[in-house]
């Protein structure tokens, strides 16, 4: 992540969530990028939303692109860490379909419950530039884990065309558009994860899968590694 320095102190109390001025800048930028668009947002408007001088913002981020880079990477980081933690579980006591459901549910919950709907920034032309390679690489890695689990989890009778894990990945990311339309519900991540397992031909096993999936999420979220 790019940072130009520690920044200067401000004369007013923080106006946004965040333990530091940098976190407040990211929160303000996330709101503005997702509500009025990246191209229509200036660093001055971000600074104004935080309550700092524009020159002070540059002590934390050199450019608006640097802010977008941090925000994009934040949308993948938690889910990728979770995916890495559970991707080997399918070779142990938990089946691949359970692990895939847990990943889909966790990932979908992250996309639906974040303060701002940052997933809509994935489609920005700017997000395809070379300076965003870390984000793009992380997203590819996450997608590959979905793919591997999908192959292992798919029932022989599923009839799914292509890689079912990739279909599940796309299904979970579709929650971003559902949220943008104001249609996402608290139950949406679970419904999407369930739909992913139906794609894999595991619909009849969903009650048991849900129970085991929830247990995996609880254990990994609690930092436990012994399955």
Q: pLDDT tens digits, residue range 172-225?
A: 999 999 999 999 999 999 999 999 999 999 999 999 999 999 999 988 877 644
**What is the chain written as a DSSP string?**
-----S-PPPSS---SS-SSHHHHHHHHHHHHHHHH-STT--HHHHHHHHTS-HHHHTTT-SSHHHHHHHHHHHHHHHHHHHHHHHTTGGGTTS-HHHHHHHHHHHHHHHHHHSSS-GGGGGG-GGGGSGGGHHHHHHHHHHHHHHHHHHHHH--TT----S-HHHHHHHHHHTHHHHHHTT---TTHHHHHHHHHHHHTT-GGGHHHHHHHHHHHHHHHHTT----
Task: Please determine, for residue 16, whether its predicted confidence score (pLDDT) is greater than 90.
Answer: no
Find the helix or strand (DSSP H, E) in which 166 lies.
helix 164-173
- Give the model's pLDDT for residue 15: 62
Q: Where are the domains of the chain?
A: 1-62, 72-221
Task: Please determine, for residue 7, whether its predicted confidence score (pLDDT) is greater than 50.
Answer: no
Which pLDDT band, with edges at 50, 70 and 90, does 11 fall under?
very low
Task: Please determine, for residue 157, whether its predicted confidence score (pLDDT) is greater than 50.
Answer: yes
- Give the model's pLDDT for residue 178: 94
CATH architecture under which domain 1-62 falls: Orthogonal Bundle (1.10)
- Give the model's pLDDT for residue 30: 95
- Give the model's pLDDT for residue 4: 45
- Give the model's pLDDT for residue 8: 43
């Amino acid at each position: 992540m790019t940072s130009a320095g520690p920044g200067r102190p401000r004369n007013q109390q923080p106006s946004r969530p965040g333990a530091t001025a940098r976190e407040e800048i990211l929160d303000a930028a996330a709101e503005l990028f997702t509500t009025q668009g990246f191209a229509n947002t200036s660093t001055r408007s971000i600074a104004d939303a935080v309550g700092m001088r524009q020159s002070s913002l540059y002590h934390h981020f050199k450019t608006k692109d640097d802010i977008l880079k941090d925000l994009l990477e934040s949308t993948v980081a938690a889910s990728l860490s979770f995916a890495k933690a559970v991707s080997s579980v399918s070779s142990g006591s938990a089946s691949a379909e359970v692990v895939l459901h847990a990943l889909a549910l966790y990932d979908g919950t992250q996309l639906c419950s974040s303060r701002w709907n940052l997933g809509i920034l994935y489609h920005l032309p700017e997000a395809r530039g070379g300076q965003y390679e870390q984000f793009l690489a992380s997203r590819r890695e996450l997608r590959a884990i979905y793919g591997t689990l999908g192959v292992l989890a798919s029932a022989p009778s599923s009839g799914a065309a292509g890689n079912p894990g990739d279909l599940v990945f796309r299904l979970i990311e579709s929650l971003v558009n559902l949220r943008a339309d104001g249609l996402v519900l608290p139950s949406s991540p679970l419904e999407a994860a369930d739909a992913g397992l139906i794609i894999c031909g595991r619909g009849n096993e969903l009650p048991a899968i849900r129970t085991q999936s929830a247990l995996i999420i609880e254990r990994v979220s609690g930092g436990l590694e012994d399955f």
